[in-house]
Structure formats: structure tokens, C-alpha cells
Amino acid sequence: MAVAEKALGHAHGHLSGADLAKPLEYQDPHQSVRILGFWLFLATDMLLFGCLFATYLVLHTHTDGGPTAKELFDIPGFTAETFILLTSSFTGGLATLAMRNRNKKQVLAWLAVTILLGLSFVGLEAQEFYKDVLEGATMQRSAFLSAFFTLVGTHGSHVSLGIVWMFSILLQVAKRGLTQVTARKIFIVNLYWHFLDVVWVFIFTVVYLFGVVL
């Protein structure tokens, strides 16, 4: 252990040694560089959604005589999805806060709540898509629907992947407790989760609100 600590300062870069004044996830420079890496990844993911939004905006009037946004979107449905996802982002934030307070039980509890909220969001969205398809509004019907399902579906699959990921981190925290490594993982998965929340705010506005209002 002594060797390991002495070596920390000479790690495979020369990330300087541990800084205990920082929050747990930032203390070990090997972990904090991963947080930076993840921010950079989020930049790429943001651009990905940006391109999908651009595509949607170009194609959203191309309904080819099929269902339009106004006919399709179900106000109570997407309002419920929005509230559930925003709440899950809040509970995710509580998990990060509990991690910084070194409270493992609370971390596990809030992660579990976040996962459950995420599952209900995905469930509602799947139900919405299913209903649309039954009404004949399939991806193949028009360019508008292709763009709609792809944009919202890409977000939904991001959330689904996030659920699997968050669950794996929940298991790791349960097994290993709160260390610098697991703390970094909790922090990053919540960064991802908040990011998806921000994307949803734009989907809510640009797709659903504009869709029913304009």
C-alpha cells in the first residue's frame, strides 16, 4: 500500500498526487481525468443530437398526407414522461450528493429510485410509440415520422442504456462501497443522466410543444 501511494505521484502520466481537499470523485487524478474524458464524450453526443434535431426541423412538415404532429402527440402522455424524467434527474443528483456525504445506503437508494423512474419513462415512451404505430403512424409512413421516431427513439435508447449502466454501478457500489473509483463512476453516470435530461427538455420544447401549438 505504501508503495502504491508513493507511486501515485508517478503514475502513467504525471498526474500529481491525491488531493483530499477535493470532492471524492476528483481526489485521484486518474479518476478526474476520466471525468474530463466523459465531458468530451458528452460534447460529441450533444453534436449527435444536434444533427438529429436539425434533421427533424428540416423534415417535420414533410408529413406526406399522413398523421401530423398535432394529430399524433398526446399531451397528458408526454407531460407525464417529462415530469418523470425531470424527477429522475433530481434523484440522480441526490445520489451524487449522498456519495459526497459518504452515505452508501442513500446512494444505493437514490440510484434505485432513479432507475425505477427511468424504467417508467422508457415504459411510457414505448407505450406511446406502440399506440402511434397502431394508428398507422409508423417510421415508414413519412419523413416527419422517420425523423420523429429516430430523434425521440435515440434519446429513449440512450436512457435504456443508461439504466443498464446505472444498475451495474449500483451493484459495484453495493459490493465495493464508496471509493474514489466508484465515486467517479457514480458521478459520471449522473452526468450522463443529466445530459439526457437536458436533451429531453429540448425534445419536449422543439418536438412536442411546437408540435401541438404550431
Residue 173's CB is within 10 A of a number of other CB atoms, namely 20
| Residue 22: CB minimum distance to another protein, A | 15
Please identify which residue in 144, 187, 193, 195 interacts with another protein, judged by CB under 8 A: 144
Contacts with another protein, 47-86, as mask; x by CB under 8 A: xx-xxx-xx--xx--xxx----------------------
**Contact region for another protein (CB under 8 A) — 10-18, 76-84, 87-95, 104-112?**
10-18
Q: Does 169 bind another protein (CB under 8 A)?
A: yes
| Residue 83: CB minimum distance to another protein, A | 29
| Residue 133: CB minimum distance to another protein, A | 13
| Residue 138: CB minimum distance to another protein, A | 9
Q: Does 12 bind another protein (CB under 8 A)?
A: yes
Q: Does 15 bind another protein (CB under 8 A)?
A: yes
Q: Does 29 bind another protein (CB under 8 A)?
A: yes
What are the distances in angstroms from CA 66 to CA 16, 91, 140, 161? 61, 39, 11, 32
CB 165 within 8 A of CB 213: no
Q: Does 140 bind another protein (CB under 8 A)?
A: yes
By the criterion CB under 8 A, which residues form the site for another protein?
Answer: 3-4, 6-15, 29, 33-34, 36-37, 40-41, 43-45, 47-48, 50-52, 54-55, 58-59, 62-64, 139-144, 146-147, 149-150, 164-165, 168-169, 172, 176, 181, 185
